[in-house]
Protein backbone atom coordinates (compact mmCIF):
# COMPACT_ATOMS: atom_id res chain seq x y z
CA UNK A 1 0.00 0.00 0.00
CA UNK A 2 1.39 3.39 -0.92
CA UNK A 3 0.41 6.47 1.00
CA UNK A 4 -1.08 9.00 -1.37
CA UNK A 5 -2.39 12.34 -0.16
CA UNK A 6 -4.95 14.59 -1.89
CA UNK A 7 -3.75 17.58 -3.93
CA UNK A 8 -6.03 20.61 -3.55
CA UNK A 9 -6.01 24.41 -3.06
CA UNK A 10 -7.70 24.18 0.38
CA UNK A 11 -8.89 21.65 2.96
CA UNK A 12 -12.53 21.56 1.83
CA UNK A 13 -11.49 20.90 -1.76
CA UNK A 14 -9.20 18.11 -0.53
CA UNK A 15 -12.23 16.42 1.05
CA UNK A 16 -14.73 16.97 -1.73
CA UNK A 17 -12.94 17.22 -5.08
CA UNK A 18 -9.14 16.90 -5.00
CA UNK A 19 -7.10 17.34 -8.16
CA UNK A 20 -5.71 13.87 -7.55
CA UNK A 21 -3.61 11.91 -5.08
CA UNK A 22 0.18 12.07 -4.84
CA UNK A 23 2.83 10.51 -2.68
CA UNK A 24 5.70 12.95 -3.32
CA UNK A 25 6.04 16.65 -4.01
CA UNK A 26 7.07 16.05 -7.61
CA UNK A 27 3.89 14.06 -8.31
CA UNK A 28 1.76 16.69 -6.56
CA UNK A 29 3.36 19.48 -8.61
CA UNK A 30 2.63 17.55 -11.81
CA UNK A 31 -1.05 17.20 -10.79
CA UNK A 32 -1.15 20.95 -10.05
CA UNK A 33 0.21 21.84 -13.53
CA UNK A 34 3.59 22.92 -12.18
CA UNK A 35 2.25 25.21 -9.44
CA UNK A 36 3.96 25.37 -6.05
CA UNK A 37 2.76 22.72 -3.58
CA UNK A 38 3.34 22.34 0.15
CA UNK A 39 2.43 19.47 2.48
CA UNK A 40 0.15 20.75 5.26
CA UNK A 41 -1.99 19.44 8.11
CA UNK A 42 -5.19 21.40 8.79
CA UNK A 43 -8.31 21.23 10.92
CA UNK A 44 -11.63 21.01 9.08
CA UNK A 45 -15.11 21.79 10.35
CA UNK A 46 -16.42 22.57 13.82
CA UNK A 47 -15.65 20.90 17.15
CA UNK A 48 -18.06 18.03 17.84
CA UNK A 49 -19.05 17.08 21.43
CA UNK A 50 -18.28 13.35 21.05
CA UNK A 51 -16.67 10.93 18.63
CA UNK A 52 -19.95 9.40 17.46
CA UNK A 53 -21.35 12.82 16.46
CA UNK A 54 -18.16 13.64 14.53
CA UNK A 55 -18.20 10.28 12.72
CA UNK A 56 -21.87 10.76 11.82
CA UNK A 57 -21.22 14.29 10.50
CA UNK A 58 -18.35 13.20 8.24
CA UNK A 59 -19.69 9.74 7.30
CA UNK A 60 -20.93 10.83 3.86
CA UNK A 61 -17.89 13.03 3.06
CA UNK A 62 -15.35 10.38 4.04
CA UNK A 63 -17.22 7.27 2.83
CA UNK A 64 -14.92 5.04 0.79
CA UNK A 65 -11.80 7.15 1.46
CA UNK A 66 -8.88 5.46 3.17
CA UNK A 67 -8.14 6.88 6.59
CA UNK A 68 -4.37 7.46 6.53
CA UNK A 69 -4.68 11.11 5.36
CA UNK A 70 -7.58 12.10 7.64
CA UNK A 71 -8.28 11.43 11.31
CA UNK A 72 -10.69 12.51 14.02
CA UNK A 73 -8.69 13.84 16.97
CA UNK A 74 -9.65 15.04 20.44
CA UNK A 75 -9.23 18.77 21.04
CA UNK A 76 -10.18 21.16 23.82
CA UNK A 77 -13.45 22.73 22.77
CA UNK A 78 -13.80 26.50 23.21
CA UNK A 79 -16.72 28.00 25.10
CA UNK A 80 -19.61 29.05 22.82
CA UNK A 81 -18.75 32.19 20.85
CA UNK A 82 -15.01 32.04 21.66
CA UNK A 83 -11.99 31.23 19.49
CA UNK A 84 -10.22 27.89 19.70
CA UNK A 85 -7.06 28.32 21.83
CA UNK A 86 -5.02 26.67 24.56
CA UNK A 87 -6.45 26.83 28.07
CA UNK A 88 -4.69 29.09 30.56
CA UNK A 89 -2.37 27.23 32.94
CA UNK A 90 -3.69 26.68 36.46
CA UNK A 91 -1.40 27.46 39.38
CA UNK A 92 -1.33 25.18 42.43
CA UNK A 93 -2.70 26.78 45.59
CA UNK A 94 -2.06 24.17 48.35
CA UNK A 95 -5.27 25.00 50.26
CA UNK A 96 -7.41 22.66 52.37
CA UNK A 97 -5.02 19.76 51.86
CA UNK A 98 -5.35 19.96 48.07
CA UNK A 99 -2.67 20.89 45.63
CA UNK A 100 -4.92 21.99 42.77
CA UNK A 101 -7.99 24.21 43.07
CA UNK A 102 -11.43 22.76 42.42
CA UNK A 103 -12.63 24.16 39.11
CA UNK A 104 -16.16 25.31 38.53
CA UNK A 105 -18.11 23.82 35.63
CA UNK A 106 -17.42 26.95 33.55
CA UNK A 107 -13.65 26.72 34.09
CA UNK A 108 -13.27 23.01 33.27
CA UNK A 109 -11.93 22.32 29.78
CA UNK A 110 -14.30 20.34 27.58
CA UNK A 111 -12.95 17.77 25.16
CA UNK A 112 -14.39 17.74 21.68
CA UNK A 113 -13.56 16.02 18.40
CA UNK A 114 -12.36 17.61 15.19
CA UNK A 115 -11.32 16.37 11.76
CA UNK A 116 -7.64 16.76 10.83
CA UNK A 117 -6.47 16.17 7.26
CA UNK A 118 -3.05 15.91 5.63
CA UNK A 119 -2.79 17.04 2.01
CA UNK A 120 -0.71 18.81 -0.64
CA UNK A 121 -1.82 22.47 -0.80
CA UNK A 122 -1.55 24.10 -4.22
CA UNK A 123 -0.42 27.73 -4.48
CA UNK A 124 1.87 30.12 -2.69
CA UNK A 125 1.48 30.69 1.04
CA UNK A 126 0.44 34.22 1.92
CA UNK A 127 2.45 34.65 5.12
CA UNK A 128 4.20 37.79 6.29
CA UNK A 129 7.80 36.74 6.67
CA UNK A 130 9.38 38.44 9.69
CA UNK A 131 12.15 40.83 8.72
CA UNK A 132 15.28 41.37 10.75
CA UNK A 133 17.11 39.34 13.39
CA UNK A 134 15.00 37.08 15.58
CA UNK A 135 16.58 38.52 18.76
CA UNK A 136 15.16 41.96 18.06
CA UNK A 137 11.80 40.74 16.79
CA UNK A 138 10.98 38.60 19.82
CA UNK A 139 11.55 41.59 22.16
CA UNK A 140 9.40 43.88 20.03
CA UNK A 141 5.95 44.63 21.57
CA UNK A 142 4.33 44.03 18.17
CA UNK A 143 5.61 40.43 18.19
CA UNK A 144 2.61 39.32 20.23
CA UNK A 145 0.39 39.96 17.20
CA UNK A 146 2.37 37.68 14.84
CA UNK A 147 0.49 34.76 13.30
CA UNK A 148 1.46 31.19 14.22
CA UNK A 149 2.96 30.57 10.77
CA UNK A 150 5.06 33.74 11.05
CA UNK A 151 6.37 32.63 14.45
CA UNK A 152 7.30 29.25 12.99
CA UNK A 153 9.17 30.97 10.15
CA UNK A 154 10.90 33.20 12.71
CA UNK A 155 12.02 30.15 14.70
CA UNK A 156 13.35 28.44 11.56
CA UNK A 157 15.30 31.39 10.16
CA UNK A 158 19.08 31.14 10.50
CA UNK A 159 20.77 33.17 13.22
CA UNK A 160 21.96 36.57 12.04
CA UNK A 161 24.39 38.91 13.74
CA UNK A 162 23.01 42.25 14.92
CA UNK A 163 26.12 44.02 13.59
CA UNK A 164 29.39 43.00 11.92
CA UNK A 165 31.97 41.49 14.25
CA UNK A 166 34.61 43.93 15.45
CA UNK A 167 38.33 43.27 15.32
CA UNK A 168 39.63 41.28 18.26
CA UNK A 169 41.21 43.23 21.09
CA UNK A 170 44.69 41.83 21.54
CA UNK A 171 45.50 43.70 24.72
CA UNK A 172 47.84 46.48 25.83
CA UNK A 173 51.10 44.57 25.84
CA UNK A 174 50.72 42.47 22.70
CA UNK A 175 51.41 43.22 19.04
CA UNK A 176 51.35 41.69 15.52
CA UNK A 177 54.76 41.50 13.82
CA UNK A 178 54.65 43.02 10.30
CA UNK A 179 56.01 39.91 8.58
CA UNK A 180 53.61 37.50 10.41
CA UNK A 181 50.30 39.33 11.05
CA UNK A 182 48.56 36.15 12.18
CA UNK A 183 50.77 35.91 15.32
CA UNK A 184 50.23 37.78 18.56
CA UNK A 185 53.48 38.37 20.46
CA UNK A 186 53.57 39.56 24.08
CA UNK A 187 55.58 42.74 24.57
CA UNK A 188 56.98 43.22 28.07
| Residue boundaries of the structural domains of the chain | 5-126
**Is the full-model pTM beyond 0.85?**
no
Return phi, psi of residue 107, to 5°: -85, -20
pLDDT at 162 over 60: yes
pLDDT top residue among 155 and 42: 42
pLDDT top residue among 136 and 74: 74
Neighbours of 134 (CB within 10 A): 17
| Range scoring the smallest mean pLDDT among 58-62, 83-87, 169-173 | 83-87
Q: What pLDDT does 96 receive?
A: 81
State the Cα–Cα distance between residues 108 and 91, nearest whole angstrom. Answer: 14
State the Cα–Cα distance between residues 40 and 29, nearest whole angstrom. Answer: 14
Instruction: Look at residue 167 and give its three-state secondary structure.
Output: coil
* CB 125, CB 38: distance < 8 Å: yes
CA nearest to 41, candidates 122, 151, 119, 153: 119
Q: What pLDDT does 30 receive?
A: 92
Q: What pLDDT does 129 receive?
A: 63
- The winner for highest mean pLDDT among 19-28, 82-91, 107-116, 170-179 is 19-28
Amino acid sequence: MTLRFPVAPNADAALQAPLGFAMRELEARALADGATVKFVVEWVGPVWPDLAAAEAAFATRLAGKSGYWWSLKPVIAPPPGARLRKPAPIKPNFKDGRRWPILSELEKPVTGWRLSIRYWRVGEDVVDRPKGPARRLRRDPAASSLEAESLRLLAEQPLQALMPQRALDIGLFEFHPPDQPYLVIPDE
